[in-house]
Amino acid sequence: MDVTLPNNIDWQTWIRRWDKMQDLYIPARKERFEIIARLITDTQRKVLRVLDIGCGTGSLMMPILKTFPNAGVWGIEFDSTLLALAEKRFVKFSKRTLLVEADLRKSGWTGLVGSRFDAIVSATALHWFSPEQLSRLYKQFARILRPGGIFLNADHAGSACKQIQKDWENQRRFLSRKYEKGNADDWDGFWRAYGRELKINVKDFRKKLTGAWVGTELGLPLQWHFEKLKEAGFMKIDCFWRMAYDAIYGGIKK
């Protein structure tokens, strides 16, 4: 999307507002990032290339950069207004980061980032994709991971049982209140305010960008992910952490 962004923006303030807003909706968000970094450490002898899928403002990339000082970290995202925040977040890490604007729903994105990644990670991004799109992405992840590399996703993972799903939703509301921090924007409030700052109609911009919603807001069941990851060529597939209907799951490329 061709968007001209103003230069006179206090980017660090907007990065902080984004993180506070995300903390409002994603309980234990920092802990999730720490677990992902630790799982990479525990499974990989050497970490030189990491790819963050749907990196947004780079929130997950930052702990990866700090944990692996010799690694280059790629981030791929299709929203230029979020990549603008990521670029400012990584001013001190510009030599070790590469941000790519691309739509993962379209073919050819893997050619923009290359291959032989030691780890591919993601956080609260993949539930935006349809089951068909996500199944295809898992196969693409396997192709650009080196053998023995790890894929990890922290995202919503629902239940096929309506009663269990309802209980998880109740748990998540309780946890959100527990982890909530004051003076945080809600989702719509952040985008309205950020749109005014960018001098764009952010509602129209994001509608054109995302198109019709095809994802699963509460997440597909873990059993579905496990089956598709196995079909894509992963092994040692597991759920490594769970909190209500959020989970960290993934596997090792054969």
Entry pTM? 0.93
Q: What percent of the chain has pLDDT over 90?
A: 72
Residue 5 lies inside a defined structural domain of this protein? no
Read off the pLDDT band of 7 (50, 70, 90).
Answer: confident
Q: Is the residue at 87 inside a domain?
A: yes
* Chain length of the chain: 254
DSSP character at residue 93: G
Average pLDDT over residues 89-102: 95
Residue 162 lies in domain? 11-253
- Rounded Cα distance, 198 and 84, in Å: 11
Write down the mean pLDDT value for the chain.
Answer: 91
What tens digit of pLDDT does each residue of 142-182 get?
A: 999 999 999 999 999 988 887 887 787 777 776 666 656 66
Please indicate, yes or no, if residue 2 is contained in any of the structural domains.
no
Whether 6 is covered by a domain: the verdict is no
- The CATH number for 114's domain is 3.40.50.150
Coil, strand, or helix at residue 252? strand
Q: Where are the alpha helices (DSSP H) in 4-144?
A: 11-25, 29-43, 61-67, 80-89, 110-113, 131-144
Among 21-35, 81-95, 192-206, the minimum mean pLDDT is found in 192-206
pLDDT at position 24 is 86
Looking at per-residue confidence, does 133 or 8 come out higher?
A: 133
